[in-house]
Structure formats: C-alpha cells, structure tokens
Amino acid sequence: MSLHKRHTLSATALILATLGLTACGNKDAAPAASGEVTIKIGHAAPLTGPQAHLGKDNENGAVMAIDELNSRGVTLGGNKVKFVLISEDDQADPKAGTTVAQKFVDQKVNGVVGHLNSGTTIPASRIYSDAGIPQISGSATNPTYTQQGFKTTFRVFANDVHQGQALAQFATQSLKAKTIAIVDDRTAYGQGLADEFKKAAEAAGARIVAQEFTTDKATDFKAILTKIKASNPDILFFSAMDAQGGPALKQARELGLKATFLIGDGGCTPEFIKLAGNAAEGQYCSLPGVPLEKMPGGTVFKEKYKQRYNQQIQLYAPYVYDAVMVMADAMQRANSADPTKYLPEVSKAQYQGVTAKIEFDAKGDLSVPAVSIYQDKGGDWNFVETLGVTAAAPAKK
C-alpha cells in the first residue's frame, strides 16, 4: 500500500470523527407544524442484541399509543399538541442505558417510557430523577427500581414480589402442589422472580425439592432437567424468558419429566408455544394485569397491533402502550406537558388502561398489582384466573 493512500485514509478517519461531532449539534430537531406544540416522549429498550425482539415489541406499543394520541388530537393549555416518539437502543447495557438517558435529558423530552430491563432502568432512573423527568417502565420488574427514593419512577407492571407471590399462590392453592422444582436463568429478572416465588411457596407449605440454574443464552437444558426428574416434583417453575422456556419444556418431555410446567411473564408469549410445540398443551404462565379481552379497548388494541405489525403481540407492548397513555393522561389533567407540572398528576393517576386499572402507590408501583394466570389450550394462552384483584379491576369469571 502506498504511503499516499495511508495518509488519505487517516485523514478520512479524522474527518469522519470531526463530522460526527459536528453533525450531532443539529440533531433531532423535531419540526413542529405552525401553531402546534411538540411533546417528546423518550422510549428506550434493547433494539439490537439477543433481546431485540422484545425491545421492538415495546417500541411498537409506544408507537401505537403516540399515533392514537395524535389522531385523537390533544390540546394542552389551549395549544394543539403533537406527540413525537424518540426511540433509542440501550442494548440492554447499563452504560448505554445512561448514555441514552442523558440524550433524552439533553433533548428535553417531556417524559420517558422504559427501559425494558431492570439493569438499564435503575442506573438511568437516577439521571431522569436529577432532571425531574417522569419515567414509566412497562417491563422492569426489580423492586429496587421504585425503592430508590426517587419521585420520578413509576411502573405499570407487577414487580417480582407481586408476581412471585401470585405464582406461588396459584401453584400451592389452585394446583395443590406439594413438591416444586425451580430453575432460574441467573438474570436479574429470572433470579429475582425465582427468589420471591420460592419464599412465597415455602411459606405456603410447599417443599422445594430441586433448585437448578441455567443462563439466558442456553439452548441445552437436559442436564439440569435430568437432575430435576430424579426429584420428581409436582411442578417445575421455570423462571426465564420464552426463548429458554419453550425449548426447555420440550426437552423436559423428551426426558420423561412429567411435572406441570409453570413460567412467568417472560414465557407468556405466542413464541413460547411455538417453541415448545405440542408439549405446551395444558401448561401455565402468568402475566401481570388482567387479560386484554376483559379490558375496554383491549381486544381492539390486540387486533390493531396484529394488523399493523403483521404479528402477534410479543410481550410488553400493551404495558408500554399503557405507560404512554398514563403519561398523556396526566399531562391532560395537569393541562401541561411540563414535567414539574404534570409529575404530581402521574402519581394521582386513575387510568383505565388496556392491561389494568392503573393507580400508583407512594413509591410508584401499581397499588393493586393484579396477576393473571393462563393455560395453553390448543396452541393459545387461555385465561384461567386473576389473582390479587380488588374491586378496582373487573370481576373474574
């Protein structure tokens, strides 16, 4: 290679770098039509990497909410407003999570929905809190998130404690399980849920006969399943996502493990049934909130999603949709999109969402975190019962 070419290349690299920095000066100036006020909502989730399918699903939910708000036409303080979604990839990486959070703060977003993972949500929440920007997560389940003493943190999803207790209640009371095996994937989600489930199940008198572990990248579960088979439990609670749960269930049946399979929200997806195949028939999963079909607007949302994205809802899209809607609702009640003005209104929310009636407790968690149980019948998750419901939510069948 000639010397000349070398210099050209390094010069190009430098120019690129320089351009990069200058280009960002005039970034993302969202043009607003005259007379319209633009309200920016930030959305963060992993859009690349192994969890990208869930991240995209979240984004879809947010996009639908934004479009609906815009077509409905919202006015705040006498001005017609236009909602704009700024969606960023946090790569499920805590460091990238804070960078994205900072970007939102710099762009002066009016509110943030996200992030998807607890590991990104927690460090990012500090930055939103410092900037006074309300943050509503539709999927982070780690209890710590709302326990940091920040006024800006909310979630429209049952946390690990609530869901773990509901699952244990279902396992010990409805399924009358005496012996239980637990597998978790050693992620913040899987381990957190498994621990709460274990505590509640033991308190309810069940015996944990085996506790095994896998990872969120594993595909082969036969070794741990063989071990579990030796302890012959009534129920296998698999605390992981669908990508692991589905194949694990299939492999369990291949090994002749007959325990009833129970999985949390991470497995309550069409994907799980697809991956587990026939083995999924008759098995159970849980999902915070009440079934979409039972909520006003729920079925419509489901159909609209299917039409628009040509696929079923993956997992958290309805919750993220609700998160945006709760935020917009609070803005309307405050008649302002100024975070300092509408933040108190978020805490006072009484919003009928598609996943539940949303009211927050003092920390920003759902005050009535309902959890519903579903069973696979003929390749679809069918509603079984809702646990932890009070008068606020529709009565169960």
What residues between 29 and 68 interact with other proteins by CB under 8 A?
47-50, 52-53, 55-56
Q: How far is the CB of 134 from other proteins (least distance, A)?
A: 19
CA distances from 244 to 219, 296, 379 (A): 7, 33, 18
Place of tokens 């009440």: 290
CA dist 208 and 283 (Å) reads 19
226 vs 375 by CB, closer to other proteins: 226
Stretch that binds other proteins, among 61-69, 268-276, 352-360, 380-388 (CB under 8 A): 268-276
Binding to other proteins by CB under 8 A, coded x per residue (else -) over 148-167, reads x-------------------
Per-position DSSP letters for 8-35, written without gaps between them: HHHHHHHHHHHHHHHHGGGTT-----TT
Residue 143 near residue 151, CB atoms below 8 Å: no
13 vs 203 by CB, closer to other proteins: 13
129 vs 179 by CB, closer to other proteins: 129
**Going by C-beta distance under 8 Å and a sequence separation of 6 or more, which residues neighbour residue 314?**
53, 54, 56, 57, 269, 270, 271
CA dist 246 and 269 (Å) reads 10
Q: How far is the CB of 103 from other proteins (least distance, A)?
A: 4
Q: How far is the CB of 120 from other proteins (least distance, A)?
A: 9
Q: How far is the CB of 3 from other proteins (least distance, A)?
A: 9
Q: How far is the CB of 76 from other proteins (least distance, A)?
A: 26
* Neighbouring C-alpha atoms within 13 Å toward the C-beta of 385: 11
Q: How far is the CB of 353 from other proteins (least distance, A)?
A: 25
Total binding residues for other proteins by CB under 8 A? 85
Q: How far is the CB of 151 from other proteins (least distance, A)?
A: 16
- 163-222 binders of other proteins (CB under 8 A): 186-188, 190-192, 211-215, 217-220, 222
CA dist 348 and 361 (Å) reads 9
Q: Is 10 in the site for other proteins (CB under 8 A)?
A: yes
Kindly state the tokens that stand for 193.
Answer: 């849920």
Using CB under 8 A, which of 4, 256, 307, 391 touches other proteins?
256
Under DSSP, is residue 100 helix (H, G, I), strand (E, B) or coil? helix
- 230-249 binders of other proteins (CB under 8 A): 230, 242-243, 246-247
CA dist 134 and 330 (Å) reads 11
Residue 71 CA, distance from chain mean position: 25
Stretch that binds other proteins, among 13-21, 295-303, 329-337, 347-355 (CB under 8 A): 13-21
Using CB under 8 A, which of 176, 207, 274, 306 touches other proteins?
274
Judge if the upstream peptide bond of residue 43 is cis by omega within 30 degrees of 0.
Answer: no
Under DSSP, is residue 296 helix (H, G, I), strand (E, B) or coil? coil
Stretch that binds other proteins, among 92-100, 323-331, 336-344, 364-372 (CB under 8 A): 92-100
Q: Is 359 in the site for other proteins (CB under 8 A)?
A: no
CA dist 247 and 238 (Å) reads 11
Report the candidate in 86, 135, 132 with the shortest Cα–Cα distance to residue 115: 135
Stretch that binds other proteins, among 96-104, 169-177, 322-330, 361-369 (CB under 8 A): 96-104
Binding to other proteins by CB under 8 A, coded x per residue (else -) over 121-150, reads -xx--x---------------x-x---x--
- 283-322 binders of other proteins (CB under 8 A): 311, 314
